[in-house]
Protein backbone atom coordinates (compact mmCIF):
# COMPACT_ATOMS: atom_id res chain seq x y z
CA UNK A 1 0.00 0.00 0.00
CA UNK A 2 1.17 3.52 -0.73
CA UNK A 3 2.90 5.22 2.20
CA UNK A 4 0.94 8.43 1.61
CA UNK A 5 -2.36 6.63 1.99
CA UNK A 6 -1.36 4.78 5.14
CA UNK A 7 -0.06 7.86 6.95
CA UNK A 8 -2.75 10.19 5.69
CA UNK A 9 -0.23 12.83 4.56
CA UNK A 10 -0.28 14.42 1.13
CA UNK A 11 2.69 15.76 -0.73
CA UNK A 12 2.14 19.13 -2.33
CA UNK A 13 3.42 19.97 -5.77
CA UNK A 14 6.17 22.58 -5.61
CA UNK A 15 7.41 24.79 -8.43
CA UNK A 16 10.86 23.19 -8.36
CA UNK A 17 9.27 19.82 -9.20
CA UNK A 18 8.94 21.20 -12.73
CA UNK A 19 12.71 20.66 -13.01
CA UNK A 20 11.87 17.02 -13.67
CA UNK A 21 10.63 18.08 -17.13
CA UNK A 22 14.07 19.34 -18.17
CA UNK A 23 15.56 15.93 -19.05
CA UNK A 24 12.57 15.05 -21.21
CA UNK A 25 12.74 18.36 -23.01
CA UNK A 26 16.50 18.03 -23.42
CA UNK A 27 16.41 14.50 -24.75
CA UNK A 28 13.40 14.78 -27.02
CA UNK A 29 13.28 18.47 -27.82
CA UNK A 30 16.99 18.73 -28.49
CA UNK A 31 17.20 15.80 -30.89
CA UNK A 32 16.59 17.83 -34.05
CA UNK A 33 19.29 20.28 -32.96
CA UNK A 34 21.80 17.62 -31.91
CA UNK A 35 21.24 15.16 -34.76
CA UNK A 36 24.82 15.23 -36.05
CA UNK A 37 27.56 12.66 -36.34
CA UNK A 38 30.39 15.17 -36.20
CA UNK A 39 31.94 16.56 -34.07
CA UNK A 40 32.93 13.59 -32.00
CA UNK A 41 32.70 14.12 -28.24
CA UNK A 42 34.83 11.69 -26.21
CA UNK A 43 34.84 9.44 -29.26
CA UNK A 44 31.04 9.37 -29.47
CA UNK A 45 28.92 10.90 -32.20
CA UNK A 46 27.45 14.18 -31.03
CA UNK A 47 23.89 12.81 -30.76
CA UNK A 48 25.02 9.93 -28.52
CA UNK A 49 27.07 12.30 -26.35
CA UNK A 50 24.02 14.59 -26.11
CA UNK A 51 21.84 11.74 -24.85
CA UNK A 52 24.47 10.45 -22.42
CA UNK A 53 24.88 13.97 -21.08
CA UNK A 54 21.16 14.22 -20.43
CA UNK A 55 21.11 10.84 -18.69
CA UNK A 56 23.82 12.11 -16.32
CA UNK A 57 22.02 15.44 -15.94
CA UNK A 58 18.82 13.57 -15.06
CA UNK A 59 20.52 12.02 -12.05
CA UNK A 60 21.82 15.41 -10.92
CA UNK A 61 18.41 17.06 -11.37
CA UNK A 62 16.61 14.30 -9.45
CA UNK A 63 19.19 14.56 -6.66
CA UNK A 64 18.58 18.32 -6.51
CA UNK A 65 14.82 17.80 -6.28
CA UNK A 66 15.30 15.24 -3.50
CA UNK A 67 17.58 17.63 -1.62
CA UNK A 68 15.03 20.44 -1.92
CA UNK A 69 12.26 18.12 -0.75
CA UNK A 70 14.31 17.03 2.26
CA UNK A 71 15.08 20.65 3.12
CA UNK A 72 11.35 21.31 3.29
CA UNK A 73 10.66 18.13 5.25
CA UNK A 74 8.76 16.43 2.42
CA UNK A 75 11.08 13.46 1.79
CA UNK A 76 12.49 11.26 4.51
The pLDDT value recorded for residue 76 is 62
Whole-model pTM: value is 0.71
Q: Are 68 and 20 in contact (CB under 8 A)?
A: no
The pLDDT value recorded for residue 74 is 73
Q: With bands split at pLDDT 50, 70 and 90, how would you rate the model's confidence at 1?
A: very low
9-47, pLDDT tens digit by residue? 566 778 888 898 999 999 888 888 888 888 899 999 998
d(CA 54, CA 27): 6
Residue 55 has pLDDT above 70, yes or no: yes
d(CA 23, CA 28): 8
Amino acid sequence: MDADRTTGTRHRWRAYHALALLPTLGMLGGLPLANRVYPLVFGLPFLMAWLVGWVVATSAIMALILRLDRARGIAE
